[in-house]
């Protein structure tokens, strides 16, 4: 898997939501979304591969929560530094 990266959305300086991209997106679209934990949704491609994790309420989600989802998906965990934008706002 290429390195995952976090995209954060802000309004008036307040973190509203975030999206953890899990791999290349070129030509792929999400065909299914599954709630996998409180404030955490996983988007899946047509072939069943996870594409990303929507973090709908970042102030309720911890690094441990995100890593639990990644473990369920069989993917490498993120470090607190990689998820720092969730706490920086």
* Per-residue confidence (pLDDT) for residue 45, from 0 to 100: 93
pLDDT value at 1 more than 70: no
Q: Is the dihedral of CA 82, 86, 87, 89 positive or negative?
A: positive
Digit-coded pLDDT (tens) for 13-51: 888 999 999 977 667 789 999 999 889 999 999 999 999
In terms of residues, how long is the chain? 89
30: burial class by Cβ within 10 Å (0-12, 13-18, 19+)? middle
Residue 2 banded pLDDT, cuts 50, 70, 90:
low
- Given a contact cutoff of 8 angstroms between Cβ atoms, the answer to whether 54 and 36 are in contact is no
pTM: predicted TM-score of the whole model, two decimal places: 0.87
């Amino acid at each position: 898997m290429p390195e995952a990266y976090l995209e954060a959305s802000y309004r008036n300086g307040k973190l509203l939501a975030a999206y953890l991209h899990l791999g290349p997106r070129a030509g792929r679209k999400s065909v299914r979304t599954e709630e996998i934990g409180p404030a955490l949704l996983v988007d899946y491609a047509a072939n069943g591969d996870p594409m990303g994790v929507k973090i709908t309420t970042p102030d309720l989600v911890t690094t441990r929560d995100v890593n639990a989802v990644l473990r369920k998906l069989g993917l490498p965990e993120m470090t607190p530094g990689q998820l720092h934008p969730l706490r920086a706002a």
